[in-house]
Structure 1
Amino acid sequence: MSTFTTADGCNLDYHLAGSSSSERTLVLLHGWSQSRAMFDRVIPMLARHYRVVSYDQRGHGESGHPTHGARIARLARDLDELLTHLHIERADFLGHSMGASVLWSYLDLFGSAKVSSLIIVDQPSACTVLPWLDQTEAAKAGAILDFPGAEVFCKGFIGPDAASVRRNFLVSMLTKQISGEDLEWLYQENLKLDGGFGSRLLLDHLMQDWRDVLPRIDVPTLVLAGEVSHVNPASQRWSAEQIPGAQLRIFTAEEGGAHFAFFERPEPFAVALRSFLDAQPAPRHRLAPSQASRTPPRGALR
């Protein structure tokens, strides 16, 4: 276990696996109310081939639990600061659920200069039917909630029935084959996120619309979806169609194809990642300072 302190004083817990001499570095971002430990089943399969970085985002898992910074943009800044701390100049990035939103925010704010490739796991580009979305547009993007529904959803995590709300939400994201032991472990990881901080972060997450970011992504991208996920796989197909050159892989129910394929069936998940990553060119190193001063930053989203 290692820790890093962000500029605004939040300690982030992170973990490094694999060899530091590996050609590729893969950075894993978990979802809302999850933790880096949920990747622990798939990491050994990936660390044989890549250097793997996983970390608990602020408010989650073993990281600090501040009362400030419950915003996707702050989480994107945390990622940028962590990359600087670890001297990571180029990496492949995987974002699961809300972690994908953090990556979209990172690209929007910082561009793709440090991004070799992108892996998006089961996240709609818009979660809520926002005022400028008609029903057809909302369905394509994968929006699940309307405004009243978003309010009720967020309030549920701080209300008198918060424990059952959290458990029921977790169950809705898993296959029916999940064992009781695994369900209980996942639930305890969920409970590490404070309800108040989590509710504020969730609302910020639900109000984002990342559709304008998708067509401006200029790095190789893989979109992963689940056949029986609560996120309609058709929305993930639509996202892949918006990202230039993106690939799509939909996991079947037998492959753990709900929201946590990397946890329920890590083997096919790891195979899909390796197939994508090993087909990518070797990461390019950052330009020397004298060259960088004459060359515009690559991939800044405009």
Structure 2
Amino acid sequence: MNAFTTSDGCTLDYRVDGPGSAERTLVLLHGWSQSRAMFDRIIPALAERYRVISYDQRGHGESAKPATGARVARLAADLHELLDHLDVGSADVLGHSMGSSVLWSYIDHYGTGRFSSFVVLDQPSACVVLPWMNEGEGKEAGAILDFTGAEQFAAGLLGPDEATVRRSFLTSMLTQDIPADDLEWMYAENCKLPADFGAKLLVDHVMQDWRDLLPGIDVPTLVIGGEVSHVDPASQKWTASRIPGSVLKVFTRAEGGAHFPFFEAPEPFVAALRDFIDSVPAGA
């Protein structure tokens, strides 16, 4: 493991796998309340071809637990500074869940000049039906909450039933037959995110509306959904339709097609990801 300190003093734990001479660098961003370790089942196979960078975003995993920066925009700045630190000029980037939100924020602030390709993994372009959206627009974007639901979830994290709220949320994102020891390990990783920081970040994350950003994404993009995910796969199809030239992949239940396909069924996930990345010229 390695450590990097951001401009505002937050220490991030990161890992680099694969040959330093690899033609391509792949950066993996985990979702809300999870950690870079979620990718450990796919990193060995990916590192055979690529230099793979994974890291715990602030407040998560083994990274520092600051009182500040519980905002998607700050997480995007953290990524920008980490890429500078590692002298990464061009990379393929994958964002799982909130990780895609962080990458959308990165594009909003810094553009796509550093991205060879972009993978959106099971993330709605709007998580909440916001006041300027009607119900139909919220559904097509993949909104899974309303204002009341977002408020109740955040309050639950800060209340006496925090453990139940965390576990229920996690299990809702997994296939029903996931092994018990896998569930317990994922739950333990989830609990490394402090509740107060997590609640603030959650609200900031779910209140974003990235729909207007999608048509301007000008790098090869793969949008991934899951047949049995809590994120409606139809919304991922809609996202793909808004990003020019993007490719859609929806994993079946047998392929681990809930919210964590890379964890529940690593082999088909790695095969699909490799096929996409290798179809794109490095530095495109």
TM-score w.r.t. length of structure 1: 0.93
Q: How many angstroms does 1:282 deviate by?
A: 2.4
- Distance in 2 (alpha carbons) for counterparts of 1:275 and 1:247: 11
Are 2:54 and 1:61 aligned? no
Say which SS state the counterpart of residue 204 (structure 1) adopts.
helix
Alignment match, 2:101: 101
| C-alpha distance after superposition, 1:271-291 (max 9, x if no partner) | 00000001111226xxxxxxx
- Distance in 2 (alpha carbons) for counterparts of 1:39 and 1:145: 27
Q: How do 1:115-130 and structure 2 match up within 5 A?
A: 115-130=115-130
Alignment match, 2:24: 24
Say which SS state the counterpart of residue 212 (structure 2) adopts.
coil
Are 2:235 and 1:270 aligned? no
Q: How many angstroms does 1:148 deviate by?
A: 1.0
Task: Work out whether residues 32 and 98 of structure 1, in 8 Å CA contact, stay in contact via their aligned partners in 2.
Answer: yes
Letter in 2 for 1:219: V
Q: How do 1:159-178 and structure 2 match up within 5 A?
A: 159-178=159-178
Q: How do 1:175-190 and structure 2 match up within 5 A?
A: 175-190=175-190
Q: How do 1:1-302 and structure 2 match up within 5 A?
A: 1-283=1-283
Task: Work out whether residues 27 and 92 of structure 1, in 8 Å CA contact, stay in contact via their aligned partners in 2.
Answer: yes
Identity across matched positions, percent: 65
| C-alpha distance after superposition, 1:246-292 (max 9, x if no partner) | 000000000000000000000000000000001111226xxxxxxxx
Letter in 2 for 1:189: E
Q: How many angstroms does 1:194 deviate by?
A: 0.1
- Distance in 2 (alpha carbons) for counterparts of 1:47 and 1:121: 19
- Distance in 1 (alpha carbons) for counterparts of 2:281 and 2:40: 27
Say which SS state the counterpart of residue 280 (structure 1) adopts.
coil
Runs of 4+ aligned structure 1 residues displaced above 3 Å come to none
Letter in 1 for 2:234: A
Point out the structure with max Rg over C-alpha. 1
- Distance in 2 (alpha carbons) for counterparts of 1:80 and 1:265: 30
- Distance in 2 (alpha carbons) for counterparts of 1:241 and 1:249: 12
- Distance in 2 (alpha carbons) for counterparts of 1:213 and 1:117: 16
CA RMSD of aligned residues (A): 0.6
Say which SS state the counterpart of residue 213 (structure 1) adopts.
helix
Task: Work out whether residues 26 and 94 of structure 1, in 8 Å CA contact, stay in contact via their aligned partners in 2.
Answer: yes
Say which SS state the counterpart of residue 241 (structure 1) adopts.
helix
- Distance in 2 (alpha carbons) for counterparts of 1:149 and 1:176: 23
Letter in 1 for 2:87: H
Say which SS state the counterpart of residue 3 (structure 1) adopts.
strand
Task: Work out whether residues 139 and 235 of structure 1, in 8 Å CA contact, stay in contact via their aligned partners in 2.
Answer: yes
Task: Work out whether residues 93 and 119 of structure 1, in 8 Å CA contact, stay in contact via their aligned partners in 2.
Answer: yes
Task: Work out whether residues 25 and 52 of structure 1, in 8 Å CA contact, stay in contact via their aligned partners in 2.
Answer: yes
Task: Work out whether residues 6 and 12 of structure 1, in 8 Å CA contact, stay in contact via their aligned partners in 2.
Answer: yes
- Distance in 1 (alpha carbons) for counterparts of 2:59 and 2:193: 6
Letter in 1 for 2:203: L
- Distance in 2 (alpha carbons) for counterparts of 1:247 and 1:97: 17
Task: Work out whether residues 23 and 283 of structure 1, in 8 Å CA contact, stay in contact via their aligned partners in 2.
Answer: no
TM-score w.r.t. length of structure 2: 0.99
Q: How many angstroms does 1:71 deviate by?
A: 0.1
